[in-house]
């Protein structure tokens, strides 16, 4: 800076600075592996720019080099927080390409595990939102309850966080071990207690910090591509499980919670209601689980995927997720395009909501969207 | 409403902790857990399926050292646990049951060579 410019700047005093950049992430404990560059003027955010790419691993390319069974294992890592839901989308894409018929029991098991994955993801969301708002008790209670679900995952799939492609092309890698149904019923009772706990705790901290914060109009939500709980909190009850039912969802009785407010508090209420609906779904599926035993799916080292293309969409905890898969008749898919719900939530929606917010509200807005950098960066 | 946490805090005073005092006691690991591999070279048919199914290419088919080549003339899987993601596909694909997974999870080591699991008995690498 030249001396003249310096003198000019000093003469203007603090007014010379219109705003400064505040980096929220990507190595901030409150942001996950994702960064937002905020331009702030005093306490107010005047500009926000998402900075994706920190967790990019090149999944779409990796999948072109692997067979469907290997990709099933890889699909766990698309979103660590709800790996079974991603397993399911990948498996459905391959099944549709190959025209594989899935046994009824396998369909029920898929839905039960995917719903537990959704509940587990919502529990993590409740924990990190509480932590971001300074409500440490909520964080600890949520992660305590999450462990009960991880215990079930370990019992059924052999791994706590990574099921290693448990829901795989052709069904599931192995049947429920003996005693699983009993464990599931016991777990559902615990989860119902958890929902009651959440309702008893919040209100003070969560309501005060979230009500009226980060309000999204329905028109903006549609324009920016919001899906899932973010869209349902704005008043539109869109849910792929009901609108374009897959697996056994068409036979199950469940509701899609909708709120009108569109703010962070509405989004948090929606997710809590969704946990209750998921508990209902699991209970119905377990009660109607077909009894004939299921043989394990033997992995195939080589096997051509028939030529064709499919687009499979599912409702996962964060919104609408999809896989476009194309095969040209080789062992590996020719192209596998992944559409995660978080790309649109973390870039256009987040940037839109942050502009005009207070700096102190940034974590509340950020986590109310229930973002997952792994699924966005892929 | 604001006091919703208080009953829980009082309950916690009289409830058992969720954690256990590891290593003096441990939560039992269920059957079917995908831990460290166990391998029986005598049952292995050297079919290479495990090396071909491995998503992380952690399994390499290696020849026996010179002095053991008479007993083990083919190639056998050497597992690099540093690359392994413990998916268990090798166990599922193995036709002879030579390769399976155990409940072992004490895998941390200070010596990088020990992450390789040699297929041959009493052989370090």
CB contact under 8 A, B49 and A144: no
Locate the domains of chain A by residue range: 57-377
A158-199: pLDDT as tens digits: 888 888 889 999 889 888 888 899 999 999 998 988 888 777
Which class does domain B30-117 fall in?
alpha beta
The answer to whether the bond into A293 is cis (omega within 30° of 0) is: no
CB contact under 8 A, B86 and A137: no
| Per-residue model confidence (pLDDT) at position A17 | 53
- Positions of chain A with pLDDT lower than 70, given as ranges: 1-2, 5-18, 29-31, 202-203
pTM value?
0.86
Distance of CA A233 to the CA centre of its chain: 16
| Per-residue model confidence (pLDDT) at position A6 | 63
| Per-residue model confidence (pLDDT) at position B125 | 46
Q: What is the number of helices (H) and of strands (E) in chain B?
A: 3, 5
| Per-residue model confidence (pLDDT) at position A310 | 94
Strand, coil or helix: B96: coil
Q: Which residues of B touch A57 (CB under 8 A)?
A: none
Residue B60 host element (H or E): strand B59-63
A263-282: pLDDT as tens digits: 888 888 888 889 999 999 99
How distant is the Cα of B94 from the closest Cα of chain A, in angstroms?
10
| Per-residue model confidence (pLDDT) at position A121 | 92
CB contact under 8 A, A298 and B93: yes
Q: Which of A147, A164, A177 sits opposite B88 (nearest CB)?
A: A164
| Per-residue model confidence (pLDDT) at position B9 | 80
The residues facing A336 across adjacent strands are A325
CB contact under 8 A, B92 and A137: no
B112-123: pLDDT as tens digits: 888 888 888 765
> What phi-psi label fits residue B107: left (phi over 0), alpha (psi between -120 and 50 degrees) or beta?
alpha
Give the integer Cα–Cα distance in Å for A235 and A226: 12
Q: Residues 180-199, chain A: which have Cβ within 8 Å of B?
A: 197, 199
CB contact under 8 A, B55 and A66: yes
How distant is the Cα of B106 from the closest Cα of chain A, in angstroms?
15
Continuous H helices in chain B: 5-14, 49-53, 89-93
Q: Which of A154, A174, A301 sits opposite B53 (nearest CB)?
A: A301
CB contact under 8 A, B88 and A158: yes
Fill in the DSSP letter of residue A248: T
| Per-residue model confidence (pLDDT) at position A38 | 87
Q: What is the mean pLDDT of chain B?
A: 85
Residue B99 host element (H or E): strand B99-101
| Per-residue model confidence (pLDDT) at position A117 | 93
Neighbours of A93 (CB within 10 A): 27
pLDDT(B124) > 70: no
Strands A335-339 and A319-327: antiparallel
According to CATH, what is the number of the domain A57-377? 1.10.645.10
| Per-residue model confidence (pLDDT) at position A1 | 59
> What phi-psi label fits residue A13: left (phi over 0), alpha (psi between -120 and 50 degrees) or beta?
left
Measured between alpha carbons, how far is residue A247 from residues A102, A108, A238, A290, A322 in Å?
9, 8, 18, 14, 15
How are strands ordered across the β-sheet holding A319-327?
A308-316, A319-327, A335-339
């Amino acid at each position: 800076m030249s001396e003249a410019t310096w003198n000019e700047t000093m003469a203007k005093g603090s007014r010379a600075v219109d705003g400064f950049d505040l980096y929220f992430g990507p190595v901030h404990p409150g942001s996950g592996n994702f960064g937002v560059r905020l331009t702030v003027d005093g306490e107010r955010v005047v500009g926000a720019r998402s900075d994706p790419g920190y967790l990019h691993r090149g999944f779409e390319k990796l999948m072109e080099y692997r067979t469907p069974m290997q990709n099933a294992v890889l699909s766990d890592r698309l979103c660590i927080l709800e790996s079974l839901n991603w397993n399911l989308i990948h498996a459905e894409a391959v099944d549709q390409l190959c025209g594989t018929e899935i046994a009824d029991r396998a369909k029920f098991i898929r839905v039960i595990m995917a719903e537990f994955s959704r509940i587990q993801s919502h529990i993590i969301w409740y924990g990190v939102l509480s932590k971001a708002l300074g409500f440490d008790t909520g964080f600890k209670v949520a992660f305590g309850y999450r462990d009960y679900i991880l215990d079930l995952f370990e019992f059924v799939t052999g791994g706590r966080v990574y099921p290693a492609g448990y829901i795989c092309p052709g069904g599931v890698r192995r049947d429920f071990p003996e005693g699983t149904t009993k464990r599931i019923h016991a777990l559902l009772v615990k989860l119902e207690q958890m929902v009651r706990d959440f309702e008893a705790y919040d209100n003070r901290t969560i309501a005060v910090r979230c009500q009226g914060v980060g309000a999204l109009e329905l028109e903006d939500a549609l324009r920016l591509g919001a899906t899932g709980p973010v869209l349902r909190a704005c008043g539109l009850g869109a849910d792929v499980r009901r609108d374009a039912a897959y697996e056994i969802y068409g036979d199950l009785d469940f509701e899609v919670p909708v709120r009108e407010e569109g703010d962070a508090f509405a989004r948090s209420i929606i997710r809590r209601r969704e946990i209750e609906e998921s508990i209902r779904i699991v209970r119905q599926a377990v009660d109607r689980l077909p009894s004939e035993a299921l043989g394990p799916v033997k992995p195939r080292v080589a096997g051509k995927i028939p030529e064709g293309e499919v687009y499979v969409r599912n409702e996962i905890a964060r919104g609408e997720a999809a896989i476009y898969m194309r095969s040209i008749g080789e062992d590996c898919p020719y192209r596998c395009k992944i559409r995660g719900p978080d790309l649109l939530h973390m870039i256009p929606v987040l940037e839109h909501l942050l502009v005009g917010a207070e700096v102190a509200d940034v974590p509340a807005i950020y986590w109310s969207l229930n973002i997952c950098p792994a699924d966005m960066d892929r | 409403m604001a006091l919703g946490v208080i009953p829980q805090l009082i309950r916690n005073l009289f409830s058992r902790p969720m954690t256990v005092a590891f290593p003096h006691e441990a939560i039992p690991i269920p059957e079917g857990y995908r831990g460290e591999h166990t391998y029986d070279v005598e049952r292995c048919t050297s079919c290479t399926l495990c090396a071909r199914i491995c998503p992380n290419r952690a399994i390499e088919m290696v020849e026996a050292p010179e002095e053991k080549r008479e007993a083990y003339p083919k190639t056998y899987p050497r597992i690099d646990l540093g690359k392994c993601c413990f998916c268990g596909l090798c166990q599922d694909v193995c036709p002879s049951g030579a390769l399976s997974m155990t409940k072992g999870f004490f895998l941390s080591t200070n010596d990088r060579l020990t992450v390789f699991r040699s297929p041959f008995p009493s052989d370090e690498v």
